[in-house]
Amino acid sequence: MNRNDVTEKIVATKVAKGIAWAAVAEAIGQSKEWTTAACLGQMTFTAEQAKTLGALFELSAEEVKWLQVVPYKGSLPTQVPTDPLIYRFYELVNVYGTTFKALIHEEFGDGIMSAIDFSMDLTREPDPKGDRVKIVMSGKFLPYKTY
């Protein structure tokens, strides 16, 4: 057994029970964005959170322990994603990545936006021409140091 096996069981049980990610998030007291990433194997749960998930997804004691192990991060199986929705994010970075970089460096200096000290909010925006997906990402600026 490994963390991927537990992730697959969580997803299968979620589908079988018809559970929404927002409901899982509410049960453990975290955002739906962080909770979804964690359930998909990208974050580490506390013992209390893992226990709650164990009950919700009918996990064994060993599976609950796997939820508390620091995962290998990075969930995409290929260099260029083939899933159409994920590919659009790849395309977005391909098209606008240099713009993000230029503007961040111009406004903040030489550094990066943290994906560790980070938050995200995904919401639906009603629009008469078709609903829109709104994603707000906020990451701490980390300047490169000289030494």
Catalytic residues: 88, 91, 114
Q: Which two tokens stand for residue 119?
A: 């938050």
d(CA 64, CA 45): 9
Neighbouring residues of 143: CB distance < 8 A, sequence distance ≥ 6 = 108, 109, 110, 111
Q: What are phi and psi of 142, to 5 degrees?
A: -120, 105
The structure tokens 């199986």 sit at 77
Integer-rounded Cα Rg, in Å, for the chain is 18
